[in-house]
Amino acid sequence: MGDRSEPTGPALTTDAQWDVLYIDGEWRPADGDETIPVMDPSTRDQVARVPAGTEGDVDAAYEAAAEAATEWAETTPDRRETVLNEFLQAFDDNKEAIIELLEDEAGGSRIMGETSIGIARDHAREASTYPRRVKGEHKESSIPGKENIVRREPAGVVTVITPWNFPLNLTMRAVAPAVATGNTVVIKPATNTPITGGLVFARLFEETSLPDGVVNVVTGRGSEIGDRVAGHPESDVVTFTGSTPVGRQVAATAAENLATPVMELGGNNAHIVTADADLDAAVDGGVFGSFVHQGQVCISINRHVVHEDVYDEYVDRLTQRAEALPVGSAHDPDTVVGPIIDESQRDEMLGYVEETVDAGATLETGGETVDLPGVEDSLVVAPTVLSEVTNDMSAACFEHFGPIAPVIPFSTVEEAIDIANDTAYGLSGSVHAGDEGTGQSIARRLDTGHVHVDDQPINDEAHVPFSGINASGMGGFNSDRILDAITETKWISVQHEPREFPF
């Protein structure tokens, strides 16, 4: 795997001790003896083991978070700001070690690792400004002599259920704001990525002055502890990133306790290219938006919707670029397209490709696994381009979540908008139309939470609201959207002079 850098502080390598939970400021074994293997998607080798947490462990984590909540909520803004800055320092000191963990655990290429670090750091820096930004307001009263004060206070205990595709930054965007605004946290990371999606945060917060119990991490199988995590009575907010079917279940379970659900769910994002588009820019965006991190991104391009006048040229150029991408192990620094997270995801996406070809599409390139030396049953899927696709074919109507680029032709802008909107989802999208005004006009008519003109759909900036509509989620992350979700308003009125009552 090449030379590995040594972390300057906490032990952040796969051979460190990860078979313990982090509850109330302590590393402790799970109630049961069972552990879960952490597998390297590139080599298919086990690289670590983590505890299979039990419902008893979940209860202990929430008890610790609830116990710590009052004191942490009452800390001053500068105290919370200091903790976030200490965390940022620890994060920066261990950046290379974290990138290597992403490589080992998530199959992330160097590009994916550096991207994750950059976005995660952006979220942590933005969160470090929250302690001084959270504020109340005064409201005029219709009653003489009354003053209305609206306070903004922490919601309490925030549950963070994290995904496996970009575990680091998608955990950071919930954990850092929650801590910064005076909440306590329980993290349940995805089973595939329990280290970078959870346990790493415990190790980094240990390098800060954060009090015990504010951040807790319980690893385990969602099938065994997921309902208890999502529906714990001590939880006040439940944040979740993942598939729409699981998200519906998580939101429903959270709602039983009247916890606020914040969900970023699936996507079926369209990359629209009109006849007047700059094809160089459109193809550049199309290649990145489909193939970065093997397409395992909720906001990646799921469908290329291309005008018939430039369709053939676009398909040819996209195919040539796909075939030229470096493919292989995430441990090779030159790799762009690495392994899929596991065989179930790989087999599902290859099944979509086969069904789409059977339905009449043309396989331009890819559609198969790529063998790796010394690896049995490789998880690497070749970058795949499909032409003559229609919106009802499997690779287009399902979120394929892989390095797959179905290209759908259209003849009018109206048709392109109809194709893009003909999905249950509404997460992201992109438009190349030749000029910014036309691009914005099309963007305004797309039913998505965000659209990017003369770009591709994969964008995330901590100070800009991020949310999906329809089956792509509820609530939102980043900026004021996450602040609204993880804080509560309290109305306090003060009657400064005697009030007259009717009796």
CATH at residue 113: 3.40.605.10
DSSP 266-304: ---EEEEE-TTS-HHHHHHHHHHHHHGGGG--TTSEEEE
N-term to C-term CA, the chain: 82
User: Kindly report the CA angle at 338 between 333 and 344, in degrees rounded to 5?
Assistant: 155
Q: Does residue 156 share a domain with residue 30? A: yes
Per-residue pLDDT, 11 = 82
DSSP H helices, 333-490, are 343-358, 394-397, 413-421, 436-444, 479-486
In a domain, 473, yes or no: no
CA–CA dist 360, 357 (Å, integer): 5
| Together in a domain, 250 and 378 | no
CATH of the domain at 331: 3.40.309.10
Residues 231, 360 within the same domain: no
Is 16 within a domain? no
Residue 460 lies in a domain: no
Same structural domain, 216 and 288: no
Same-domain check for residues 215 and 250: yes
Q: Does residue 247 share a domain with residue 286?
A: no
- If asked whether residues 219 and 314 sit together in one domain, one would say no
Position 353 in a domain: yes
Query: Could you read off the pLDDT of 85-107 as tens digits, one per residue?
Result: 999 999 999 999 999 999 999 99
Domain count across the chain: 2
Q: What's the pLDDT score for residue 263? A: 96
- Based on the fold, state whether residues 230 and 314 are members of the same structural domain: no
Do 234 and 334 lie in one domain? The reply is no
Instruction: Output the pLDDT for position 467.
Output: 94
Q: How many other CB atoms are there within 10 angstroms of residue 120's CB atom?
A: 25
Same structural domain, 280 and 178: no
Tell me which residue range forms the domain holding 289: 269-453
Q: Judge contact between 175 and 160, C-beta under 8 A.
A: yes
Note whether residue 469 is domain-resident. no
Indicate which residues carry an active-site annotation: 264, 298
Place of tokens 């802008």: 413
Same domain, 120 and 213: yes
Identify whether 14 is part of a domain: no
- Residue 8: the pLDDT is 38
In a domain, 467, yes or no: no
Q: Does residue 356 share a domain with residue 211?
A: no
Classify residue 354: in a domain, yes or no.
yes
Backbone torsion region of residue 219, taken as left when φ is above 0, otherwise alpha when ψ lies between -120 and 50, otherwise beta: beta
Which residues does the chain have with pLDDT short of 50? 1-9
The pLDDT assigned to 4 comes to 36
Does residue 53 contact residue 36 with C-beta atoms inside 8 Å? no
| pLDDT of the residue at 3 | 40
Which pLDDT score, from 0 to 100, does residue 226 have?
A: 96
Q: How far apart are CA 27 and CA 17, in angstroms?
A: 10
